[in-house]
Amino acid sequence: MTSPASSSDREKVVSKLPAWLRQALKIRAAQHGIEIQTAVEQGISDWCSLASATANVDTSGADSFSTFLPPGQWEQFREIATDRRVSLIQGLAQSVQLWLDSNPTPDVARPDVTRRIIVCNQKGGVGKTAITAGLGEALAEDANTLHPVRVAKALTKALRASETYGDETEPDESPLDIENLPGPGLRILLVDFDPQCHLTNQLGGTPLPMNGDSLTNHMAGDPKGNLRDLIISVDEEHFGDRLHLLPACNDAFLLDVRLSAVRAREAALERALAPLETDYDVIIVDCPPSLGLSMDAAAYYGRRREGEKTGQSGALIVVQAEDSSADAYDLLTTQIDDLRGDLQVDIDYLGIVVNLYDSRRGYIATSSLQGWVDIKDPRVVGLIGDLKEQKEAVRVKQPLLSYAPKSQQAVGMRALAREVL
């Protein structure tokens, strides 16, 4: 968003607007990436340029509204409102409505090619599932609603805040910059590719039965139906049917064995999911803690396709601020680099997410975090604290961003989503 002008550049004016119009102005200005005061200035300027007042706006229940305008604009507005025999409140409401009409809600920016994000690390317990779910939820949030987002650009700022204020700091108490922004409004498919079915269970789904159809069957070339029929919608009330889940089945424990008999097995996941891609803007795959054939298939699915820009699809690596994550990271990147060389494909790293961070664990946590930050390529794109809201959301089997939308973890997930975008 554009930087607000200082009060020395503008003069403060106070009037009234109805709550519904203030909210519409706030959301639309955020959608267009401009300050509210700039939108009001444009609206008043356009209204003053009209030959006459526009249609009356319902101003019942109007309450105090203040903004900053260029010197002299408000006086000019008052004079024109008087000439038109329109109250200041009605004239301001008409000006705001005129700006809203002239600046309609922008279309959701959709990718030309369905983006494929592979959330991975062969080490279990780092929270890949929580990151998969949180990222998907953040990308699917309503584009016509404002949500609190952490907009601090420097990770060192986040680290400094965590060390100073602790990990229980609420968003409105934190020195990190919080801004209310519209949701991306994207159509998201979460793929539970882990036979342990954690993503399925956490989001309130039911693992697929062993004797039915599954992603494993489609990858092994033995489908029993249409993969679309297995997909379920997640919390439609909050996400408006933009967030879907392909549940897991325990038969994925046998996937590596079944893939060993499949031709071009590295492309098995792509063959299975390709028919679904036209329905979604982003497909996010929650990978198992494995370095087997299934991980090869996932990494290959995230490769950069012909005509796709660098960094649109690829691997998002989840780690913790401790030593064992570093060992697992080396194993994973070695596997991906080997796959790159063997198959002559480009697999991009989308970044590192440091999850379950708690500076109160002392030097090991803070020094490990600094070690991740120092890598630079891939860079750290997210820092998510080890807080109670995520555990509570899992317990009640609800998405974090609908269970605790203003929590520090939710704010961080939205920041991650915008870094990935």
- Residue 354 sits in a domain of what CATH number? 3.40.50.300
Amino acid symbol at 223: P
Taking only Cα atoms into account, the Rg of the chain, rounded to an integer number of angstroms, comes to: 25
To the nearest 5 percent, what fractions of the chain are helix, strand and coil? 45, 15, 35
**Is 222 found in the same domain as 87?**
no
Q: Could you tell me if residue 166 is inside a domain?
A: yes
**Residue 327 included in any domain:** yes
| Helix axes of 36-49 and 73-83: crossing angle, nearest 10 degrees | 40
Are 34 and 123 part of one and the same domain?
no
- One domain for residues 174 and 245: yes
Helical axes 363-375 vs 323-343, angle rounded to 10°:
20
Grouping H, G, I as helix, E, B as strand and the rest as coil, residue 13 is: strand
Local mean pLDDT, 10-residue blocks, the chain (421 residues): 54 95 96 96 97 94 95 96 96 97 96 96 88 98 94 55 45 62 97 95 96 95 96 97 97 90 93 97 94 93 95 95 83 93 95 90 85 90 92 96 96 94 89
pLDDT at 397: 96
β-bridge mates for residue 119, sequence order: 286, 316
Q: Do residues 146 and 249 both lie within one domain?
A: yes
The reply to whether 254 falls in a domain is: yes
**Pair (38, 135) in one structural domain:** no
Question: Does residue 49 lie in a domain region?
Answer: yes
The residue from 78, 102, 126 where one domain ends is 102
283 part of a folded domain: yes
Q: What is the pLDDT of residue 168?
A: 44
**Residue whose pair of structure tokens reads 């010197």 in the numeric block:** 71
Does 3 map to a domain?
no
Does a structural domain hold residue 2? no
Query: Which H helix or E strand runs over 97?
Result: helix 88-102
**177 shares its domain with 91:** no
Task: Give, to the nearest 10 degrees, the angle between helix 36-49 and helix 19-31.
Answer: 110
* pTM to 2 decimal places: 0.90
Output the pLDDT for position 152: 58
Q: Which domain holds residue 74?
A: 11-102
- Is position 108 within any domain? no
Same domain flag for 96 and 169:
no
Structural contact between residues 167 and 357, judged by C-beta atoms closer than 8 angstroms: yes
Q: Which of 102, 126, 153 is the last residue of a domain?
A: 102
Give the pLDDT score at 157.
59
Give the chain's domain count: 2
388-396 vs 128-140: helix crossing angle, rounded to 10: 80
**Is the alpha carbon torsion for 88, 75, 21, 179 positive or negative?**
negative
CA neighbor of 188 nearest in space, from 227, 234, 140: 140
CATH number of the domain enclosing 18? 1.10.1220
DSSP structure class, residue 377? S
For residue 378, say if its preceding peptide bond is cis, omega within 30 degrees of 0: yes
Number of Cβ atoms within 10 Å of the Cβ of 245: 24
**How far is it, in rounded angstroms, from Cα 319 to Cα 146?**
30
